[in-house]
Amino acid sequence: MSENQKQFDRNYDDIIHLPHHVSKKHPKMPLEDRAAQFAPFAAVVGHESSVKEAARLTDQKRDLDEAEKTVINEQLQIIQNQIDNQPEVEITHFEADELKSGGKYIVSKGRVKKIDVYTRSIYLVDESIIEIDDVFKVLIVQ
């Protein structure tokens, strides 16, 4: 036994062999609650989510040239001429991000119910609304 250990034993000889005290007034704390006392402390609440949000990438909306706009307008005209049959389409369009600049391109599939040239919107049967100015590509499935 080391000299330090002997010194420790001498300092606590009067209590070292006593039984562990169990309170009669207070119930024993569950292990989960005891472990929670030692959980890491979050000094800045929301910091981790802010870092993740800043790291999330977004795309920038691409400007179409006149030829691409003409192709989209021609596709929309074909759809407008077949609107009574509710043609099925796949429309790739830009969706702006709600939290930061930019967004993402998504593909919406469905049947066209209406094309409104005044609001510049495409209405699908499933109640989706796509802004014509956000359209990147139109594919008529039927």
Asked whether residue 103 is domain-assigned, the answer is yes
Using the 3D structure, point to which of 55, 77, 95 is the last residue of a domain. Answer: 55
Number of residues in the chain: 142
Distances (CA, A) of 9 to 4, 13, 20, 113: 9, 6, 17, 87
DSSP 104-128: EEEEEEEEEEEEETTTTEEEETTS-
pLDDT digits (tens, 9 = 90+) for 34-67: 777 776 666 677 777 888 877 888 899 999 999 9
Q: What is the residue range of 103's domain?
A: 66-140
On the CB side of 88, CA atoms within 13 Å amount to: 4
pLDDT digits (tens, 9 = 90+) for 4-42: 776 766 777 778 788 888 888 888 888 888 777 776 666
DSSP 9-39: HHHTTTTTTSPPP--SSSPPPPHHHHHHTTS
Pick the residue with more confidence: 52 or 130? 130
Asked whether residue 88 is domain-assigned, the answer is yes
pLDDT digits (tens, 9 = 90+) for 94-105: 999 988 899 999
47 and 82 co-located in one domain = no
